[in-house]
Structure 1
Amino acid sequence: MRVLIVDDHPVVVSGCKALLSAEPDMEVFDACDAESGLAAYGAQAPDVAVIDINLPGVSGFELATRVLAQDPAARIVMFSMNDDPAFAARAIKVGAKGYVAKNDDPSLFVAALRKVWAGGTYLPGDLAQKMAFAQFDKKLAQLSQRELEIVRLLAAGETMGAIADKLGVSYKTIANNCTALKTKLGARTSMDLMRAALEAQKS
């Protein structure tokens, strides 16, 4: 596997090279900024490109976009000091196949490269969960006060009939509200809606 690392921190690059030197099937190249990174990608044709988000001048996100414009099949892993799910979401949006935080377990870095090289995608489990919750929180923010109250009561185990009685409305009104909630929360069935309500209670 040919790996290109684009990062402007020599210590980080040296650390990555030292880590990957233990992998007999890996050959590593490096570049320190977007311009040299793009040139190295064209010259070396790596199997996987590891791109730091915070490059000098042009960001890693922009470099990833340029690499993909040059090679739509490029397999890119974004590399960052930040484990904020918003950064990971943006990385996936620009076309990266993986995201690794620099403070993660080094063994995860190797696992990420191998998984992306094999055609898969890679996100650390906790980061993937944070991204899912971030998306769910956005959906919750779109609910009305009445809908939020229905979600809370569903999570407490109340039936639609009991919820109708508590809120002083008809069963049909609650049923209609639940149908709307399924759409807003991406729930296909009543059981999915219950799970979403329970997750809302945790958040």
Structure 2
Amino acid sequence: MRVLIVDDHPVVVSGCKALLAAEPGAEIFAAGDAETGFAAFCAHQPDVCVLDINLPGLSGFDLAQRILKHDPEAKLVVFSMNDDPAFAARAIQAGARGYIAKNDDPLLFLPALKRVCAGETWLPAELARKMAFARAQSPLSGLSAREVEILRLLAAGDDIGGIADKLGVSAKTIANNCTALKAKLGARSSMDLMRAAIEALRSPH
């Protein structure tokens, strides 16, 4: 099994490698950002790619879209500290075949990758249950993947111009998205929207 891990935290990468070390024939590659992650994917053609969402520069969502455009059959697993069920749902909608929260049982990591490699999907049972019952309660449940990404960038401190540059769209488009987000999240001002973004995306790594 060839595994690519894209995460900017060396301790996380080391932990993943340790969890896979006993697997016969496992080949493990690593990258710390989306650009080197995409290059590594093209170079190594891994059986499964493990992506963090919050990467330097382009996000894991952006990397997932780029990889899937290059290879629609790519098997992607999102590995994140955020266990919000709506956030996991967005990852699945973005093309991931599995979602693992970093506070899950480490013993689930290898079985999850094996299942995704076999063409199946993986969600921890508790997260799947939360996704089934908490859709209406989550502040992210009514948002598109693009809107969730804009919230992530707002919470990280980016302004409209910076978000537009990162997402490759016009500032006017982002401003319109922010207006829609204010209505959806009940924010009356840009500052309210930023506070809402930070609250909605608490524990983002």
Q: TM-score, normalised by structure 2?
A: 0.65
Return the structure number with greater relative CO, CA threshold 8 A, min gap 6: 2
Runs (5+) with no aligned partner, structure 2: 139-205
1:102 aligns with 2:81: no
CA distance in 1, matches of 2:20, 2:137: 38
Specify the alignment match of 2:78 in structure 1: 78
Q: Which amino acid aligns with 1:110?
A: L
Sequence identity, in percent? Answer: 69
Tell me the distance in 2 between the aligned counterparts of 1:115 and 1:98. 9
- Secondary structure of the residue aligned to 1:3 is strand
* Corresponding residue number in structure 2 for 1:158: none
Q: Give the aligned residue type for 2:72.
A: P
Q: 1:52 matched to which residue of 2?
A: 52
Deviation at 1:136, TM superposition (A): 5.9
In structure 1, what residue type is equivalent to 2:58? Answer: V
Q: Counterpart of 2:181?
A: none
Structure (1 or 2) with the greater helix fraction: 1
Amino acid paired to 1:39? A
In the TM superposition, residue 25 of structure 1 has moved relative to its aligned partner by: 2.7
Moved over 2 A (4+): 134-138
TM-score by length of 1: 0.66
Total equivalences in the alignment: 138
**2-structure distance, mates of 1:111, 1:19:** 11
Segments of structure 1 that go 5 or more residues without pairing to the other structure are 139-203
Is the 2:9–2:32 Cα contact (8 Å) retained in structure 1? yes
Deviation readout 1:148-194 (Å, 9 max, x if unpaired) = xxxxxxxxxxxxxxxxxxxxxxxxxxxxxxxxxxxxxxxxxxxxxxx
Q: Which residue of 1 aligns with 2:61?
A: 61
Tell me by how many angstroms 1:137 deviates: 5.6
Counterpart CA distance in 2 for 1:41 and 1:90 is: 22
